[in-house]
Structure 1
Amino acid sequence: MTLYLLSFLGFMMIGIPVAFSLGLSSITYLIVNGQLHLMIGFPQKMIAGIDNFVLLTIPFFILAGNLMNSADLTRQIVRFAQMLVGRVRGGLAAVNVVASMMFSGVSGAATAEASAIGSVMIPAMQRDGYKPEYAAAVTAAGSILGPLVPPSLALILYGVLTGTSIADLFLAGIVPAFALCGGLLVYVLVKARREDHPLPPVIPADERKSLAVKALPALLLPVIIVGGIRSGVFTPTEAAAVAVVYALAVGLLLYRTLDGRKIAASFYEAATMTAGVMLIVAMASMTSFILGIENIPREIAAQMLAISSEPWVLLLLLNLVLLILGLFLEPLAALVLVMPILNELFPLLGIDSVQFGVMVVLNLMIGMITPPVGLCLFIVSAIGKTPLEKVAVAILPMIGIALLILALVAFVPALTLTLPSLFPGQ
């Protein structure tokens, strides 16, 4: 397995994309070990890895998010968040966090959220006198709210890989997301008072009603998705298709900002993003095959048990490993890679699979904002034209807040399991 890991890291270091690095590492492993004949089964393994009906939710939810964003929803959300926050010192940073929370119900992915909110909020905060690295850091920290609430692509993939109810996962991520949002709000407001950050501009009274009306569709989308699935009106896959129809209706009839060119661009972006996701899942399936040959999952489980058999110690070790993995891998690829190992460890932890899923996803998302190679850090650094090292320093306190929420998710079951128990499915 050392050979596989070294070759994988080597391929990534020379600039080969993650998906192809996974595949090339698998081939390298077979060649060196004289098992090249097993490559005959690779196409079958790759197709089997993506041959799941529920995975259809991914392109539909990506398309719905693209359509809503193309319909100028991001700007409407930011203005509405600005109205909610009001004129408090450091209000624009708070607007950034609140807007990220609201946009979470549209994007489903941290990178999409960092790009959409960052393109609006980072220049606005810079114009208002905030340090560029701080504006970028707040945006990156807020971006990990997206994968915790519906329609989270990472939670969908976890549900597909483990057979866990996607509706339960959607509900389970909501309270941790609000807890993280609250923690970030407290931080930016306290920092604003300490460093005398500027006051945001006033929203005119005659604009407030129209802002509420225009932002309401973003707030209703996750309610429609979870409510429809939970009530039995439609399945998760059908919910994704409903989200697309809803996004089209909002853009064409309410905002009237969608046209043929924007719709075509949204479909194209959804197709390319979906192709990338599915390629990663397919290539990672080859890695899972290699893990099976080497019996790595059971060996890792045995090694961890040799350290301690206490569930809380195993949870701490597992969280540490996932945080490190999240530094280097895109979350969807990391999920496919680690689930064979996690499936061996899960029975030893004594926690619910829904709680476990939210914990795993939050772990990997924190890795995306953790220096030195967190993907969201690169995105916000590019948007803000700010050196990555400065953003990395500015985001450290916010990572601490996220780690605190992660600890609560791991060790306080009520945080994730209360909502699914209050709203049982049909």
Structure 2
Amino acid sequence: MLAGNLMNAADLTGHIVRAAQFLVGRIKGGLAVVNVLSNFLLSGASGAATSEAAAVGGLMIPSMKRDGYDPAYAAALTATGSLLGPMIPPSLPLILFGVLTGTSIGDLFLAGIVPGLILGGLLLTYALWKGRRDDHPVAARVPPEERRGILIAAIPAIILPVFIVVGIRSGIFTPTEAAGVACIYALVIALFVYRSLSWRRLLRCFHDTATMSAGVMLIVAMASMTGFVLGIENLPQRIADSILGVTQSPAVLILLLNIILVVMGLFLEPLAAMVLIVPVLNALAPTIGMDPVQMGVMVVLNLMIGMCTPPVGLVLFIVGTIARTPIQAVAMAALPMLVLCVIVLALVAAVPSLSLFLPNLFK
């Protein structure tokens, strides 16, 4: 969290957006493609859909509106693109799932990369198709004298997730130590590369990180208490037995779990929903036979989709406020993109190698 806040305070989002505009802005519907690519590149520093939606949306939605894009479409594209944040490492929801279940956080980080790439590719394809169909404008050309500097400025931010994942998987440092190393890296980049971090902004980063961390740790603390009480009452096993009473087919059980997760995601914040559902998942795991790493990616993606759906889609409210567009209009515009998210979710649930390929490759 602190590393992400430091990078954002150093105008990381601006550097990423300018790099994306240089790379893909000169095609039809360029700003929409820049939006998706910016979300993808920024995901390595944010780790959370809400912060990514606010950061990218604050820059891209007004620009897209000025170029004649439908505000609801601009907001919806930003909302669904922000789901890449929890999939590409480092991811806060995947970290919490690892803490709650004892699953390797390094494996979870690697497992989210391929589904994240597929989702990003589908969103880019949709943006390109819609750009040609609706004759969206081409983004402004980047002056030749600025191009090299734009790419060089974006490189430190882009390599941060690679640095973290490689460090954890190679055994150079643990996930906890990786957080400290990432903070030092981000601080050095902000102070000596971007040179845009004042003392006031640094203190603000510490304040925001403390607030965010307190919220997450409160959820973790409540999760421990909830898990203790549920264990005494044997409630997860009872719920699992009730589900097993309906069917013992692994495929049907996975489908039922996804339906339950979709319903929970409609009404609950993802981290709170994870606290409630993880004990039941642990009780059902032997029957389902799903690898916990694969299950973690499935659970996180499912609950993140809920952040882009009414009635409690927090990301929808963020982008709707930025676009000054009714939530209903944003939700309707997001439907085709949410279908793409569900397709990726179905692939993650049905094809284990999609999420397990990279963890198995680096073992």
Relative to the length of structure 1, the TM-score reads 0.83
Q: What is the distance in 1 between the residues matched to 2:278 and 2:239?
A: 12
Which amino acid in the other structure matches residue 305 of structure 2? I
* 1:293 shift after superposition: 4.2
Mapped pair 1:327 → 2:266: yes
Q: How does 1:93-242 map to 2 (within 5 A)?
A: 93-242=32-181
The aligned counterpart of 1:243 is 182
Contact persistence 1:281–1:333 (CA under 8 A)? no
Q: What is the distance in 2 between the residues matched to 1:399 and 1:82?
A: 24
The aligned counterpart of 1:317 is 256
Which amino acid in the other structure matches residue 122 of structure 2? G
The aligned counterpart of 2:212 is 273
Contact persistence 1:372–1:392 (CA under 8 A)? no
* 1:86 shift after superposition: 3.4
Q: 1:329-377 CA deviation, whole Å, 9 max, x = no partner?
A: 2222221221111100111111211111111111110111112221110
Q: What is the distance in 2 between the residues matched to 1:341 and 1:106?
A: 31
The aligned counterpart of 1:349 is 288
Mapped pair 1:80 → 2:25: no
Which amino acid in the other structure matches residue 129 of structure 1? G
Mapped pair 1:91 → 2:30: yes
The aligned counterpart of 1:256 is 195
The aligned counterpart of 2:5 is 66
Which amino acid in the other structure matches residue 146 of structure 2? E
* 1:381 shift after superposition: 0.8
Q: What is the distance in 2 between the residues matched to 1:239 and 1:408?
A: 30
Q: 1:26-69 CA deviation, whole Å, 9 max, x = no partner?
A: xxxxxxxxxxxxxxxxxxxxxxxxxxxxxxxxxxxx11000000
The aligned counterpart of 2:348 is 409
The aligned counterpart of 2:316 is 377
SS at match of 2:86: helix
Q: What is the distance in 1 between the residues matched to 2:111 and 2:156?
A: 22
SS at match of 1:325: helix
SS at match of 1:368: helix
Q: What is the distance in 2 between the residues matched to 1:339 and 1:70?
A: 34
Q: 1:243-293 CA deviation, whole Å, 9 max, x = no partner?
A: 100110111110100111111000000001111111222234333344334
Q: What is the distance in 1 between the residues matched to 2:143 and 2:358?
A: 37
Q: What is the distance in 1 between the residues matched to 2:179 and 2:77?
A: 29
Q: What is the distance in 2 between the residues matched to 1:233 and 1:287?
A: 35
The aligned counterpart of 2:222 is 283
Q: What is the distance in 2 between the residues matched to 1:94 and 1:346?
A: 39
Q: What is the distance in 1 between the residues matched to 2:247 and 2:41?
A: 41
After the TM superposition, which segments of 4 or more aligned residues of structure 1 sit over 6 Å from their partners? none
SS at match of 1:101: helix
Q: RMSD over aligned Cα, in angstroms?
A: 1.1
Q: What is the distance in 2 between the residues matched to 1:413 and 1:205?
A: 45
The aligned counterpart of 1:394 is 333
Which amino acid in the other structure matches residue 207 of structure 1? E
Q: What is the distance in 1 between the residues matched to 2:235 and 2:200?
A: 49
Which amino acid in the other structure matches residue 347 of structure 1? P
Which amino acid in the other structure matches residue 117 of structure 1? V
Which amino acid in the other structure matches residue 60 of structure 2? M
SS at match of 2:248: coil
Question: Which range is displaced more, 367-376 or 405-414?
Answer: 367-376
The aligned counterpart of 2:278 is 339
Q: What is the distance in 1 between the residues matched to 2:258 and 2:197?
A: 43
SS at match of 1:173: helix
Larger Rg: 1
Relative to the length of structure 2, the TM-score reads 0.98
The aligned counterpart of 1:38 is none
Q: What is the distance in 2 between the residues matched to 1:177 and 1:185?
A: 12
Unaligned runs of 5+ in 2: none
